[in-house]
Structure 1
Amino acid sequence: MAHAPPAMPLAWRRICATIRGMSNPFPRLLAPFAMRGHAWRNRVGFAAMSCRLAAGGRATPALLNHLEARAAGGAAVVITEALPAARSAATPTRVSAFSEEALPDLGAMAEVIARHGALPVGQLWHPGSANRGQRAVDAVGASAVPDGLSWTVPRILADAEIEALCGEYAETARRLQRAGFAGVEVSAAHGFLPLQFLSPVSNLRQDRWGGDLWNRSRFLRDILALIRERCGPGFLVGLKMPADDGVAGSIDPEEAARITALIARETPPDWFCYSQGTHGWSLGMHAPDQHAAPLPYRALWRRMRQAAGGVPVAAVARINHPAAAEELLASGDADLVMLARPLLADPQWVEKARRGAPETIRPCLNCNACWGEINKGAPIACAVNPRAGGRDTGGAAPLAEARHVVVVGGGPAGLQAAIAAARQGRRVTLLSARAPGGAARLEAALPGGASMAAFLDYLVAEATRAGVAVRQGIASPDSILALRPDTVVLATGAAMVRPAGLRDSRSGLDLRALLAAPPPGGALAVLYDHDHTPATYAAAEWLAARYSRLLLVTPRDSIAQDVPLLSAQGVHRRMARLGVEILTCRGLLRHEARRLWLTHLLTGAEEVIEGLDLLTWSTPRQPRQALLAPLQAAGLAVHLAGDALAPRLMLSAIREGTEIGEAA
């Protein structure tokens, strides 16, 4: 099938091939160094990542567990999620660092990080006008320019208010220092308030805070200077900003280099960390998904390092493998690496690299499910790490009772259940109708599927390491009973249902069947999208390469509504570039020969599409539960996992597989 996952780059393969038996397999990545008297045990930091684990502005046990796990996993620096630097930035799901009442909470956060040898760093943040929900009525900003996502128009800050904000940043930094933090990182990225001052698009002021670069950077430079003045020379001060915010006339690489050089000269931070994009259509740049190449901003990091005047430059975004990080540092394109999603997926990432076992790192899918959870108001979670979100410390204790668990279904839920049960000391047999990986193997062969392929390979390898016995073939009640199981886990997946308008027809076929037996191509294809998840749009790309014209038809009023916003922006962009035609609010009426009838769901009007070469659909799925009743009738304890219980996303399937496997 086309679009097979790309091989690991040659330079990274060479590094991996030479690490076995080495005492220090990644010498640059794991090299200790000193900064302002603080000892960094390696060159890896856990990058700031919103997690929504605080409550009422206070730290919770889940938040402390989340931070501690990344420190215990070997990161040299653990940067908190963005903390409100001023009272006007307060939000209940972030610890109120601007308040003296938060001092005990901040102290607890610093302590759980430092106890494992990592340096605690708090990120200082103010959203200004940046908002992702409804238009905010209390937003403030440099000028009355609408936010690029919510269209919030902020109240213009007065001169005295800006000065007071600079002071609040410094006082919050001092409070963090008193709480035991080694330093702070000032966020001037992602469209937040300092970037709103830096950008000539959002800063239209003509006073000392706007106009030329010197004045537009004054707010940020004053913040940095005041923090240094109040916290002293031994306190770490980092700066996060974009090397390209993706907005015409705003902060392009040339402007970013000028800002970098100016700040490095006037108010030098201890490191620059470059994260791209801003609040608007370029927001997705800051967390490039599975469709982006690894190290996508390498040229930008190299250019900013040249402008930084010797200040270390930290790279962040799609640095998934220790070999990639090692090669990046060896090239001189960056001095440090900051990892967010990879350390959410596996907090032991650094420790596993140190042990020379990178193949045991749970790979990040780059799917942005983590961001999607927090964006919809839920605590952070991870599609591949069932314990993310404050559940990372520990796990279920192994069980002494010897039991035989049979898992039917080799997809992600089944593999995860088998691994979890085996780690509990169970004897586990996995029955898989095809090569382990299930229907997810079809997705792994689509555009952007390399991350999924890597994760499936990881699950298969983990099952082998855990001692799971894998048998391939179609399972029946008799073949399962012949294994004499004590418990059965059915992870048999689900099947796409035929669209309502085609129930009396045998024409067309579902997307999974199409991918399993690719057609030769043609002039016109129609993909009915009743799914709205990333795999459907990867399949649309695959179809667009085979058909001269592709119509994407959906009963909703837009596409990609179940894709996290960061990745949904990429979906819309790719569909537009490929010339995919999108018909919204349409249902299927009937299909005869090469003609397809649609109905507009709002007006009731009928439309006819002529000359159709292919009709396929991606629809809600029906669980496959045919084995359930016979096994229960035989007296077996049977658990349903993943799509076999009810169709769900990877995040739920992996978490559920873990819970069922541990309890089996």
Structure 2
Amino acid sequence: MFDHAFSGFRLRGLELRNRLVSLPAGTSLVEGGLPTSGDVEHVERLAEGGVGLIITGAAVVHPSSYPRGGKLVAAYLEEVVPPMRHKAEAAHRHGAFMIGQLVHLGREGIGAEADVPSVAPSAVRTARDAYPPHVLTSDEIRDQVDAWGLSARHLERAGLDGVEIHAAHGYLVAQFMSSATNLRTDEHGGDLAGRLRFLDEVIDAIRRETGPDFVLGVRLSAEEEVSGGTGIDHCLLVAEHLAARGDVDYLSITHGTRGSYVKDSTGPDAVAVESAARVRAATGLPVLVGQRIRDAGTADTVVRTGKADLVGMARALIADPELPAKSRDSRLDEVRSCIGVNQDCRAFDPHLHCAVNAEVGRGRHPGLTTPIDRPREVHVVGAGPAGLEAARVAALRGHRVTLYEAATSTGGALRLAAAAPHRAALLDVVDHLEREVRRLRVDVHLGAPISRDDLVEIHGIADDVVLATGAVPGPAPDAAAGRRVLSVEDVLAGAPVPVGRGTALVYDESDGFWPVFNAAESLARSGWSVHVATALTACAPRVPHESQGPLLTRLASGGARVTIGHRLEASGDGWALAPVFGGPPVGVEPDLVVWHRDRAVTDSFGSAGLVRIGDCVAPRRIGHAIADGYRVGASLGLTRS
């Protein structure tokens, strides 16, 4: 299966075992610019999972790249060699090769927050920084070039097989190449040859400082996807220039800039493949392509059709490092898919996590490698993501697990959220967990509500009882007394609404996360004119950054109105929006009101002998529910027989 994706490939002197590449994804498992043991473990899991090549998360080449310090690997430090050697050894030990990505963030370094300016070829401010950057002098440019060479030498000494120059996503090298951000009139500006000079000098420095077998790649954005940004024609010119040099081993093709290059589940998959195909045809160089490629089948098609030579994945391998091995061995039903929500892998709170893989950033729980003395009778009440994960992990450890769910299907609130436009990928979590619990022979009872009396009976036969009954919509607001007000859950569940179509006012009394926008987009799809209002001073502040732009674009293109900084109040027989910071209320006349409040915990089971997980502890996100279930499932029986 997938013979093309799992065929070998020669990259300079490296004989890759397959065409699958782990793309750069920082973990923030770094202290003082040096990788920690957790970062090494992350690499080891990727290599064990069967990927052919691992490209590390970007390492900065100069102190000016990331003046806040700490959470990015500092390749310019001599001290980086030993811990990076541990990472390289972890990859090699399991048959993978490793390339280190090098980067300077340039104006995207957000330097002003650290009391030092960011740096760039010209004083063109990024929207992410409050101040324009410092313009690099000619002497400073020479210092920067030397830093790239030094950083590459450190990684070669650490045993890495090559480096990749990050010349994409609007970082320093890309800033030099673009006429929108490089306004210089000296030798490092002007025409394309001048704007490419910095990249040429960086390549020269790396080649001087490293040996002849050291692999060198360059990552390019084929489409920056911003006003005034570069596009495919510019990318082809740069790629042809690099091919003509004769010392670049591969090109990695991506789309976007900082804030847009991590595509969420609302857009298409494999967005950069056609761009990669054009670069490959124009240059003859080996081409790597990634960006929301989530499965080996897509990778196989890309290679088979000649679109690219290597296929990269980042979040798909974070979600399941064993994706290559499972796909190679025809165990596709066991693959845990990335759902593209960007809630945990992009938050770095405090480091890399994953909504569907609780081991990311936390490591493998010791319970998964500790033999059990005897199988325990484990009963789990509730088959949302927390309950499913607890059942899966407990069964994986060898316990006898029974799972009860009051509804006739698994998934809980997640299944409801997946009914919203653009959110169907959420069902991948549920489908994977349900397949796993059945594969592991969990005894699943659907349509089986559990009462307090039932729980007493269960206690008589179970060693452990895990409660994962979720949360409920918050109570109706006082302003809704005597009025028909729907909850977000009502809308997603298809509650009857007034005949005809008119204006639907969707009010967010919560935190600006997805639920209110799930309802808004559902109503818009049904033909309603949507007005979103919130007392918050921003729209969708809790929606992940990379999803905010697409979400607000969809709302605007659908004609939705957005009002921030206003509370919804009853006003006579109607409604009014009252400014949070003072001023007279403004009357509104919606035909339908949807009021979103924080979800609430209801508990009629008491506490004796119960382990609670997920939203019935406190309403939170998918990743928290999965992590709770994983932790409890892995720890059952560790401290008592």
**TM-score, reference length from structure 2:** 0.94
**What is the match of residue 639 of structure 2?**
none
Is the partner of 2:627 in helix, strand or coil? helix
Change (3 A) 1:85 1:392: farther
Q: 2:530 touches 2:561 (CA, 8 Å); kept in 1?
A: yes
Q: Name the SS of the counterpart of 2:25 in structure 1.
A: coil
The DSSP-based 3-state class of the residue aligned with 2:183 is: coil
SS of residue paired to 1:122: strand
Q: CA deviation at 1:133?
A: 8.2
CA contact (8 A) 1:135 1:152 kept: no
How far is 1:149 from its partner? 1.7
Select 1:87's aligned residue among 63, 79, 88: 63
Question: What aligned pairs does 1:141-152 form with structure 2 within 5 A after superposition?
Answer: 141-152=120-131
Pairing partner for 2:266 from 284, 291, 302: 291
Pair 1:476-2:451 in alignment: yes
Q: What's the counterpart of residue 277 of structure 1?
A: 256
| 1:515 corresponds to 2:492 | yes
For residues 267 and 250 of structure 1, what CA distance do their matches in structure 2 show?
Answer: 27
What is the alpha-carbon distance in structure 2 between the residues aligned to residue 79 and residue 394 of structure 1? Answer: 28
Written as runs of structure 1 = structure 2, the 5 A alignment for 1:213-252 is 213-252=192-231
Deviations 1:371-403 (A, max 9, x none): 4322xx511100000000151487532422332
**Corresponding residue to 1:306 among 277, 281, 288:** 281
The change in CA–CA distance for 1:425 and 1:132 in structure 2 (over 3 A counts) is farther
> Against the structure 1 CA distance between its residues 133 and 583, is the aligned structure 2 distance closer, same or farther, given a 3 Å change threshold?
farther
Aligned mate of 1:43, from 10, 13, 19: 19
- The partner residue of 1:199 within 141, 159, 178 is 178
Q: What residue in structure 1 maps to residue 606 of structure 2?
A: 628
- Cross-structure match for 1:430: 403
> Residue by residue, what CA displacement relative to the aligned partner does 1:356-376 show, whole Å, maximum 9, x if unpaired?
1122111101111234322xx
In structure 1, which of residues 617, 635, 657 is the aligned counterpart of residue 629 of structure 2?
657
**Cα offset, 1:501, TM superposition:** 4.2
* Aligned equivalents of 1:190, 1:301: Cα separation in 2: 16
Among 387, 396, 411, the residue aligned to 2:384: 411
Residue of 588, 591, 602 corresponding to 2:568: 588
Aligned counterparts of 1:318 and 1:524: Cα–Cα separation in 2 = 36
**What is the alpha-carbon distance in structure 2 between the residues aligned to residue 75 and residue 576 of structure 1?**
41
Distance 1:271 1:214 in 2: 21
C-alpha contact 2:180 2:229 (8 A) present in aligned 1: yes
Tell whether 2:50 aligns with 1:77: no
- Whether 1:440 aligns to 2:419 is no
Identity %: 33
Q: How does 1:510-659 map to 2 (within 5 A)?
A: 510-519=487-496, 522-529=501-508, 530-590=510-570, 595-610=574-589, 612-629=590-607, 632=608, 637-659=609-631
The answer (yes or no) to whether the contact 1:185–1:237 under 8 Å persists in 2 is: yes
Q: Secondary structure at the match of 1:369?
A: coil
Amino acid at match of 1:332: G
How far has the Cα of 1:507 moved from its partner? 2.1
The answer on whether the counterparts of 1:63 and 1:390 sit within 8 Å (CA) in structure 2 is: no
CA offset at residue 510 of structure 1? Answer: 0.9
Task: Say whether the 8 Å CA contact 1:70–1:343 is kept in structure 2.
Answer: yes
Indicate how the Cα distance of structure 1 residues 460 and 591 shifts in structure 2: closer, same or farther if over 3 A, else same: farther
8 Å contact 2:27–2:352 — kept in the other structure? yes
CA–CA separation in structure 1 for the residues paired with 2:98 and 2:236: 28
Tell me whether 1:162 sits opposite 2:145 in the alignment: no
Matches of residues 303-382 of structure 1 in structure 2 within 5 Å?
Answer: 303-307=278-282, 309-374=283-348, 378-382=350-354
Report Cα offsets for 1:205-240 as digits up to 9, x if no partner.
Answer: 011101111110111122112212332331111111
The DSSP-based 3-state class of the residue aligned with 1:234 is: coil
Matched residues in 2 for 1:470 and 1:365: separation? 24
* Matches of 1:151 and 1:334, distance apart in 2: 39
Asked whether the 8 Å contact 1:400–1:425 carries over to 2, the reply is no
Please tell me whether the aligned partners of residues 500 and 588 of structure 1 are also in contact (alpha carbons under 8 angstroms): no
Measured in 2, the distance between the counterparts of 1:98 and 1:442 equals 49
Residue 19 of structure 1 is matched in structure 2 by none
- 2:222 aligns to what SS in structure 1? coil
* Equivalent residues of 2:467, 2:612 under 8 A apart: yes
1:122 pairs with one of 85, 95, 100: 100
Give secondary structure in 2 for the equivalent of 1:174: helix
Rounded to whole Å, the distance in 2 between the matches of 1:417 and 1:502 is 40
1:253-282 CA distances to partner (integer Å, 9 max, x unpaired)? 111111111222125521111222224xxx
Match of 1:264 in 2: 243
Secondary structure at 1:287 match in 2? coil
Question: Contact 1:83–1:124 at 8 Å: present in 2 too?
Answer: yes
Q: How far apart are residue 296 of structure 1 and its match?
A: 2.1
Question: Is contact 1:499–1:588 with CA below 8 Å preserved after alignment?
Answer: no
- Return the alpha-carbon distance in structure 1 between the equivalents of residues 454 and 189 of structure 2: 75
Distance in 1 between residues matched to 2:414 and 2:347, nearest whole Å: 21
- Contact 1:268-1:311 within 8 A present in 2 as well: no
SS at match of 1:462: helix
C-alpha contact 1:371 1:564 (8 A) present in aligned 2: no
Secondary structure of the equivalent of 2:352?
A: coil
1:385 aligns with 2:357: yes
**2:29–2:39: 8 Å Cα contact kept in structure 1?**
yes
Change (3 A) 1:556 1:639: same
- Are 1:409 and 1:492, in contact at CA under 8 Å, matched by a contact in 2? yes
SS where residue 428 of structure 1 aligns? Answer: strand
Greater shift after overlay, 647-656 or 595-604?
Answer: 595-604
Q: Which runs of 5+ in 2 are unaligned?
A: 637-641
User: 2-side partners of 1:503 and 1:663: how far apart?
Assistant: 45
Structure 2 residue 466 is the aligned partner of structure 1 residue 489 = yes
Shift of 1:130: 0.2
What's the C-alpha RMSD, in Å, of the aligned pairs? 1.9
- Separation in structure 1 between the aligned mates of residue 263 and residue 359 of structure 2, nearest angstrom: 23
**Structure 2 residue matching 1:130: 3-state secondary structure:** helix
Shift of 1:26: 1.0
Q: How far, CA to CA, are the matches of 2:172 and 2:246 in structure 1?
A: 18
The C-alpha deviation readout for 1:556-608, integer Å capped at 9, x for no partner, is 01111111211122222222222211111122222776x32222111152121
Unaligned runs of 5+ in 1: 1-24
- SS, match of residue 600 in structure 2: strand
After the TM superposition, which of the residue ranges 33-42 and 640-649 deviates more from structure 2? 33-42
| Whole-Å separation in 2 of the counterparts to 1:337 and 1:592 | 61
- Matched residue of 2:181: which SS? coil
Q: Distance in 1 between matches of 2:623 and 2:88?
A: 30
2:621 maps to a residue whose letter is L
Distance in 1 between the 2:292 and 2:514 partners?
Answer: 18
Q: TM-score, normalized by length of structure 1?
A: 0.90
